[in-house]
A and B are shown apart, each in its own frame.
Chain A
Amino acid sequence: MSVEDPYALLDKWLNAQELLVVGKDVTRVDAFQKAVGKAYFTEDYLLKEALFVKQVLSPYPHARILSYDVRKALDIPGVKAVITAKDIPGVNQVGYALPDQPLLAEGKVRYVGEVVALVVAEDYDTAFKGVESVEVKYEELPYLLDPLEAMNRNDILIHEEIGSNIAFKTKVVKGDVNEGFAKSDVIVENEYRTHHQDHIYLEPEAALAIPDMEGRITIICSTQYPHLTRDIASKVLGLPSSYVKIITPYVGGGFGGKDDEGPLVAAKAALAAYLTGRPSFLMYSREESIAIHPKREATVIKYKSGASKDGRLQAIDVKIIHDTGAYANRGPFILWRATVHASGPYEVPNARVEGFAVYTNKVYQGSFRGFGNPGIQFAAESQMDLLAEKLGLDPIDFRLKNILKEGSTTITSQKLDHSVGVGEALRKVAEASDWWRKRREYSLDTGRFRRGIGVGVAWHGISTSRGVPDWSNAYVKIEKDGSVTAYTGIVEMGQGAPTSAHVQIISELLGIPPTKVKVIFGTTDAPDTGATHASRGSSIGGIGVLIAAAKLRERLAKLASEILNVTPEEIMFKDGRVYSKKDPNLYIEWKDLIKEAISKGVELSATGYFFLPKGKFDDVRGQGFAYPAFSYMVVISEVEVDVETGVVKVLKVWPALAAGRILNPQQVEGQLEGAAVQGLGYALMENLVFDGKGRVVNPDLTDYVIPTIRDVPEIQKPIYVEDLFKYGPFGAKGVGELALIPMPASVANAVSHALKTRVTSLPLTPERVLELIRSSR
């Protein structure tokens, strides 16, 4: 084994005894610049000579496009181009999981808001006029908005080529559910519904495409995966990937939404730039953003589960229906995630889970923090409360009897061999919140204000589902003056992966201050690092950074040991100095060591490629290796419900996280708080409303309400269980999505406790709560 073996390097740092920078509240390097407007976002790069792109959107949920007339628009002075599907030089196909989606509508439109044409003009107002002058003739077609109806009808087909409105199916079958139910003493069966959610990243989608002199195109854009963005844009343009460069500057929030929409915005701006030869800029208005970009899926979940008298789960039988809207997009992956997580983080010997992603004529579903998991955890955790009640057990005691631990097998029959801290997290947070006392005490409330306390426990597989390949990489080089530059494809969208975690990793390994480390992020000039999604930026994205930096450290430790005449094992890197642990007076300054390295021919650059080892997964039975590890999250929520107005107030929230090493507690806290509040918004107020034609009727921030500073509960200090993950950097698993996932379940269970009646659908708006109270009387 060479000293640069990635497994050996990961292992060495997993078990490092003393860490100097990692695990500390190190201030992120981008904070000050952001506060004073010096951190540039896409629109900040807008060039004076750029053309403006505006989009012509479909007014119909389902219609055939008969003809376009663009002459009037082109006659407007200042309009430079009108682009429709036929003008696309490359391939008009941007479907992510299935080849079902054009960049610009072709032949048909499938939802209100689908992009039909682009108008490119000298200024924004002219582009806007151009949009109004483009005439498109449609023949309206019958349409479907309800997934339950759509999945059973074949007379109206949203995608004829598929022959059904079911875009995708998934399945997990373990053991024998009939036997499991026969062994059950209590059985609970329910239907749950969850709704769409919009990301409302405060920076709307934007891209600036700039043609350069060599026939290449550079796209500055707000996206979550530069390499994928490049691949999609180059495919649409019909150019080799190497002719397109992506720069992702600071991103004003993503939450998954820009993983789906980012590449499409980039491709549209690139198309305008390519066809006009001029820099072209496209930025969505908020209304456009809400109308067009993919949403968190709406779900219908039928859930039956059974347990025996001894408090053990025996079987679950689950049917998951995702409203995937007009296109599949990432729907199949979202559905897979929901399917394999359907049990919640519990041992279930017998399981049957079936998933269906169903087309409807609405804005399509896509990635959103939690990726299919918040909905299914809401259903699973509601069932857990109901089973506990029937068994006469406390909800947390019942969960603890079934909770996953090391050695458990999941519903895909994957054996969890390490890093399962959920039981400990649940026990600790129950104690911290004074759960058992409050659970009893609040049950006695009878007045106008009823208190309730509820728990949501969730698990979330790290990396891509099943055997889908996943890797990390980074390029790290030490400059002559001893400063360090690192390149990663991970973007900075608020989570701080490249501006805190990656900086800390390098600072830790090379013993230099964070201010000497520059991480260049979000660029296709870096090796493909995968997407900044799935809670992977700091963790999986950090693996490549760690390995590259560790390689450099090994080389330099060897060189220093030769210079100082000691063994490489005793070499330490700290505060800009490299020295012997045994005798700190034996040292060489970092800067001098770098000079020595240059004169002695020691390479000062390295890449950190790492391919995550995975097992086999049988897609037909849904059995096998699902994820290299899981992160776990528990949220206990305390609520107060006003039974006269139906208003739910979340008073307190106790988070507990088992996500391996906490690289930066303050930043992790920020992720947990932000996700908890986004989840609270989803559970209580956020609601996308569709009219009878599938048009979003509330595409603005007055009618689509998100939490303000007034809605924030008291969020307690998180409890961390550092259940190290053997392939994570220092054992980190991933955090970004986690606190959102159990939040709807936690709030719904607390409200159910307060009202002594079961919540089965969200959001818990005052109207719905009053309705619930009425129907329970």
Chain B
Amino acid sequence: MKVSFKLNGKNVVIDVNPNEVLLDTLRLKLGVKSVKRGCERGECGVCTVLMNGKPVYSCMVLTPQADGAEIETVEYLQGKEEVKALIDSFVKHGAIQCGYCTPGFIVTAYALIKAKQNGLTKEDVIKGLEGNLCRCTGYKKILEAVINALNQLET
């Protein structure tokens, strides 16, 4: 079936199976590499994308459900000030090891910042990032990086 949505600012029209998930459409058909495959069950967060501004696990979204939606990934979001600050902070703080989880964290953290521009507490950040797993860093530097980016953006 034909599905159309806005991907990273551009309209796409694509033919998919009704049971195809957005993760597969993005990765296998549209060449989006930042969206990773980790569990395909909504358990790890490495496939996180923004759908109409909200972070979703793209492995849990059927592509037809994305019809008419706006989908954004880090390839596109990296142009935004907040995402620049996040990436910069992740890089500087050593919050990136294998990097498989990183785009998912960046997208989720960005959505968090957008949803509550000011006054995010450490607890808010923890709560917001709880659904993204990382097996390499032990999270300490990720948390530091996000909080540092927040401070950066607030000043």
Please report the total number of B residues contacting A with Cβ < 8 Å: 49
- Is A495 an interface position by the 8 A CB rule? yes
Taking CB atoms, residues of chain B closer than 8 Å to A199 are 135
- Is B73 an interface position by the 8 A CB rule? yes
Cβ A39 vs Cβ B99 within 8 A:
yes
- Is A200 an interface position by the 8 A CB rule? yes
Interface string of A682-725 (1 = CB under 8 A from B): 00000000000000000011100011111010010000000000
- A251 with B138, Cβ < 8 A, contacts A285-B40, A700-B43, A709-B130 known: no
Cβ B141 vs Cβ A27 within 8 A:
no
Taking CB atoms, residues of chain B closer than 8 Å to A229 are none
Binds A, one of B63-71, B87-95, B113-121: B87-95
Cβ A253 vs Cβ B98 within 8 A:
yes
- Is A277 an interface position by the 8 A CB rule? no
- A283 with B37, Cβ < 8 A, contacts A35-B103, A252-B98, A252-B100 known: yes
Main SS at interface, chain B? loop
- How many A-B contacts if CB must be within 8 Å? 163
- Is A202 an interface position by the 8 A CB rule? yes
Q: Which residue of A lies closest to B45 (CB)?
A: A202
- Distance between B64 CB and nearest chain A CB, rounded to angstroms: 17
Taking CB atoms, residues of chain B closer than 8 Å to A43 are 27, 37
- Is A448 an interface position by the 8 A CB rule? no
Q: How far apart are the CA atoms of A701 and B41 in the complex, in Å? A: 9
- Is B11 an interface position by the 8 A CB rule? no
Q: Which residue of A lies closest to B29 (CB)?
A: A48
- Is A37 an interface position by the 8 A CB rule? yes
Taking CB atoms, residues of chain B closer than 8 Å to A285 are 40
Interface string of B47-84 (1 = CB under 8 A from A): 00000000000000000000000000111001000000
Cβ A251 vs Cβ B91 within 8 A:
no
- Is B2 an interface position by the 8 A CB rule? no
- Is A107 an interface position by the 8 A CB rule? no
Please report the total number of A residues contacting B with Cβ < 8 Å: 57
- For B36, B43, B90, B98, the residue with the greatest tally of chain A CB atoms inside 10 Å of its CB is B98
Cβ B32 vs Cβ A202 within 8 A:
no
Q: Which of A35, A44, A701 contacts B87 (CB 8 A)?
A: A35
- A286 with B39, Cβ < 8 A, contacts A37-B103, A708-B130, A709-B143 known: yes
Taking CB atoms, residues of chain B closer than 8 Å to A253 are 97-98, 100, 135-136
Cβ A34 vs Cβ B96 within 8 A:
yes
- Distance between A98 CB and nearest chain B CB, rounded to angstroms: 30
- A701 with B138, Cβ < 8 A, contacts A35-B96, A37-B32 known: no
Taking CB atoms, residues of chain B closer than 8 Å to A33 are 99
- Is B140 an interface position by the 8 A CB rule? yes
Cβ A670 vs Cβ B141 within 8 A:
yes
Q: Which residue of B lies closest to A665 (CB)?
A: B94
Q: How far apart are the CA atoms of A74 and B95 in the complex, in Å? A: 48
- Is B35 an interface position by the 8 A CB rule? yes
Cβ A34 vs Cβ B141 within 8 A:
no
Taking CB atoms, residues of chain A closer than 8 Å to B134 are 202, 709
Cβ B138 vs Cβ A678 within 8 A:
yes
Cβ A496 vs Cβ B97 within 8 A:
yes
Q: List 26 A-B contacts (CB under 8 A).
A: A28-B96, A32-B87, A34-B102, A36-B87, A37-B103, A39-B99, A41-B36, A202-B36, A203-B98, A204-B37, A250-B98, A250-B99, A286-B39, A492-B98, A494-B99, A674-B135, A674-B136, A674-B138, A678-B135, A678-B138, A700-B39, A700-B41, A702-B41, A706-B133, A707-B139, A709-B143
A670-B97, A706-B135, A712-B138 are known; give 5 further A-B pairs, CB within 8 A.
A35-B78, A203-B38, A283-B37, A674-B135, A678-B135
Q: B-contacting residues of A (Cβ < 8 Å)?
A: 25, 27-28, 30-41, 43-44, 46, 199-204, 250-253, 255, 283, 285-286, 492-496, 666-667, 669-670, 673-678, 700-702, 706-710, 712, 715
The 3 A-B pairs at the shortest CB distance, nearest first, are namely A37-B34, A34-B99, A494-B98
